[in-house]
Structure 1
């Protein structure tokens, strides 16, 4: 049987909002995410931070929240330069990780990198006085990295980083904590993705949403785990040509194995 071609609305995991602002349409304002974004915009309006740390377990949306905040700064209308170094390879030591970031920043602004630790000062010297520099950093693992970046950032800079391990930070660092999905987040996440999708995409049945809520919300389902679950269900529905993604699609053996992993 030949089925209509459509793109799975739950394919994209990473959302590079800085490069592709049109992807804002698929960002779900789930509970912790919305609170974190509001916390950042409030802090920026009151007293712009130099360093922002997004915390939470793997798959909870840390990278997307950092991208969302950076995109908001780009859309304010003020002069903003954004440098995305979040995909820099993670080195073995704190020094190697910091040096890698400094080399990337130096290459972007074409400033000397003889001393990687002096790059932030070099960039500050060439940055126009009316311009804000936003830098998306790779994840940090140790408090020493956080302290170094907090001290290196200039007055016209905002650095974003994330960590799955750190929960506390110096007082001058704005911390945006994320966590598992809250009640109602599953429906909000699915509805946002499906609303932004093509009209030919099958709907997700209320029974399927209720089952996921009852079965997995108490155990702390992450946004990424939910995305993978719905992606698999929609792949199955597309293969079978069903007009709706129902509980049968969710309850396939492959999905059960995925969800039953510890």
Structure 2
């Protein structure tokens, strides 16, 4: 008898339409690791427009042979910044390959602590980058590696330590201060693209400081219409009738008074509601605002009972 795969639903129960393969209930989509995630992006919270903007800015990549770029994704927590960065980096890796560049994606998101001083964050990030490039055997000689504790020198010499057809896509730790963002915008070496996320609001002066080498992308919260589009996409992946649909006003009543929801909040909420419903023998004809509220109450009690 063949064992059930890890993400398979229990026998006799439909799958949870909000369970993305290989992810937890609120993990960001990541086509860099799982190719099938490309098909799970939904055009909400301005992610589609930002993705197309990124594609437009890198339609011609000849400039990367002379100077690098910083791609900055701004938005509130939970709005899908990391998922957008993953999508853009995945697409850019393929785009650079079509131009004859071998692009390596280097994930440094966890390599600096949020509360550390900026010089310390820069040093940790640079050291981690050079260590990973050395581990991947991408360095032709050790000059930049020997400078990994001196970020300015290391970045300046790094292109000469790589093959001339080697490009790097570097996913930076989240950055909140304009001074640190300016550092990466000003020092991005040729054939290198830094991706950074921030929750900080940037005015026109900040954008001027970051200069023309910075690609600005935005994500945001959304209202009940975008939430309904997200839910319809996920529910549409199942055969009709397997699970009850959302009532027309369920999300409208949940997201009211001008409040904006986030993609993380919607994924958490609807995953939890449908995880409960799919294992029930008797299910309602539709999911209402009361079903969403009951899920909130269950989670509130669960959290209150935890030490």
Instruction: Specify if TM > 0.5.
Output: yes
> Displacement of 1:103 after TM fit?
1.1
Q: C-alpha offsets along residues 120-140 of structure 1, whole Å, 9 cap, x if unaligned?
A: 234312222223211111110
* CA radius of gyration, larger in: 2
Q: Which moved more, 1:140-149 or 1:125-134?
A: 125-134
- Report SS of the residue matched to 2:46: helix
- Output the CA distance in 2 between the equivalents of 1:239 and 1:120: 54
TM-score in terms of structure 1 length = 0.84
SS in 2 for 1:53: strand
Secondary structure of 2:234's counterpart equals helix
The residue aligned with 1:95 is 119
Pairs aligned (count): 255
8 Å Cα contact 1:143-1:166 kept in structure 2: no
Q: Which moved more, 1:63-72 or 1:24-33?
A: 24-33
Q: 1:215 to 1:249 in 2, by over 3 A?
A: closer
Superposition misfits of 4+ residues, deviation over 6 angstroms: none
**Residue 80 of structure 2 is aligned to residue 74 of structure 1:** no
Shift of 1:236: 2.1
1:229 aligned to 2:238? no
Q: Which residue of 2 aligns with 1:213?
A: 252
C-alpha contact 2:246 2:286 (8 A) present in aligned 1: no
* 149, 155, 162: which one aligns with 1:120: 155
- Per the TM alignment, residue 255 of structure 1 is displaced from its structure 2 partner at its CA by 5.0
Mapping of residues 1-262 of structure 1, within 5 Å: 4=13, 6-7=15-16, 9-10=18-19, 11-45=25-59, 50-76=69-95, 77-78=97-98, 79-91=102-114, 92-110=116-134, 111-112=145-146, 113-167=148-202, 168-169=206-207, 170-172=210-212, 173-182=214-223, 184-195=225-236, 202-203=242-243, 205-207=245-247, 210-216=249-255, 218-241=258-281, 242=283, 246-247=287-288, 248-252=290-294, 254-255=296-297
Residue 74 of structure 2 contacts residue 81 of structure 2 at CA under 8 Å; is this kept in 1?
yes
* Secondary structure of residue in 2 paired with 1:161: strand
5+ residue gaps, structure 2, are 1-10, 20-24, 135-144, 301-307
CA contact (8 A) 2:17 2:235 kept: no
Find the aligned partners of 1:27 and 1:3 in 2 and give their Cα distance.
28
State the Cα distance separating 1:252 from its structure 2 match: 1.1
Pair 216,102 (structure 1): closer, same or farther in 2 beyond 3 Å: same
- String of CA shifts for 1:58-101, please: whole Å, max 9, x gaps: 11001111111001112223321111112324251111211111
Structure 1 distance, partners of 2:153, 2:211, is: 24
Q: Normalised by the size of structure 2, how large is the TM-score?
A: 0.73
Deviation of the 1:254 alpha carbon: 2.6
